[in-house]
Amino acid sequence: AQTVTQSQPEMSVQEAETVTLSCTYDTSESNYYLFWYKQPPSRQMILVIRQEAYKQQNATENRFSVNFQKAAKSFSLKISDSQLGDTAMYFCAFMNNNDMRFGAGTRLTVKP
Amino acid sequence: DGGITQSPKYLFRKEGQNVTLSCEQNLNHDAMYWYRQDPGQGLRLIYYSQIVNDFQKGDIAEGYSVSREKKESFPLTVTSAQKNPTAFYLCASSTSLAGGQETQYFGPGTRLLVL
């Protein structure tokens, strides 16, 4: 079974700085998708970024980018120019054949 | 404006009572999902449905039941057999399952508390 590990339960960053959240996963599949979701205090799950495993190029969405290392089964999220509104829980997720597995989450606090 | 709605936002259950959580989507998505979120844990899949009148158990289906009579609606019933129902429940939907890798979009969630 696929598992997703987020080794950083909590992190903090100063406003305008850059922070990287870690995620590793375990799978024997070769075709899969990876996601980062954000859950702010409202608890709404919001898609941040998505990466197809067959693509070598790392996905980017404005200030959010990933470092996808397929051989190492690593999928980290980099947030540049952190803003107060980035304060949230961040969940890494793995999907294969519509079976989605989530990590336990990293609580990120952006400090003014 | 398209999206996924869940109601109620908060729900209280008495001992031995069944309660039903609503999930509706107007995104014309084929697949719908129910997840449970507990503190300090990621989301766990309860049930999912790929098409009307069909649904499958997820990892923690015991004590829950679902129906999918309409494409837009996927209600979840928490039965009295679920001994620890206090949690945050999230509904999600995605487009056709062709290829099996469609992004899931989430509703705002329902917080269930036991009295």
Between B41, B104, B108, which is nearest A100 by CB?
B104
Whether residue B105 contacts residue A47, with contact meaning beta carbons closer than 8 Å, is answered with: yes
Q: Tell me B101's DSSP state.
A: -
Q: Give B52's pLDDT tier (boundaries 50, 70, 90).
A: very high
Burial zone of B69 (CB within 10 Å; 0-12 exposed, 13-18 middle, 19+ buried): exposed
Tell whether B103 is within 8 A of chain A (Cβ). yes
Could A104 and B45 be called an inter-chain contact, meaning their C-beta atoms sit closer than 8 Å?
no
Residues in A touching B100 (Cβ below 8 Å): 96-98
Between A47, A96, A104, which is nearest B41 by CB?
A104
CB pairs under 8 A between A and B: 57
**Cα–Cα distance, A46 to A21 (Å, whole number):** 16
Whether residue B47 contacts residue B33, with contact meaning beta carbons closer than 8 Å, is answered with: yes
Q: Give A88's pLDDT tier (boundaries 50, 70, 90).
A: very high
Q: For B78-105, what is each residue's pLDDT tens digit?
A: 998 888 999 999 999 998 655 556 889 9
Tell whether B101 is within 8 A of chain A (Cβ). yes
- In order of A11, B40, B71, the CA distances from A107 in angstroms are 6, 10, 35
- In order of B73, B92, B94, the CA distances from B4 in angstroms are 10, 8, 11
H/E stretch holding A55 reads: none
Range with the poorest average pLDDT among A13-17, A101-105, B14-18: B14-18
**Cα–Cα distance, A112 to A13 (Å, whole number):** 9
How far B62 CA sits from the closest chain A CA (Å)?
A: 18
How far A62 CA sits from the closest chain B CA (Å)?
A: 19
**More reliable by pLDDT, A1 or A109:** A109
Q: For A44-76, what is each residue's pLDDT tens digit?
A: 999 999 999 988 899 999 999 999 999 999 999
pLDDT(B2) > 80: no
B25: helix, strand or coil: strand
Residues in A touching B40 (Cβ below 8 Å): 9, 104-105
Residue A30: what pLDDT? 87
**φ, ψ of residue A92 in degrees (nearest 5):** -90, 140
pLDDT(A97) > 90: no
Rounded percentage of chain B residues whose pLDDT exceeds 70: 93
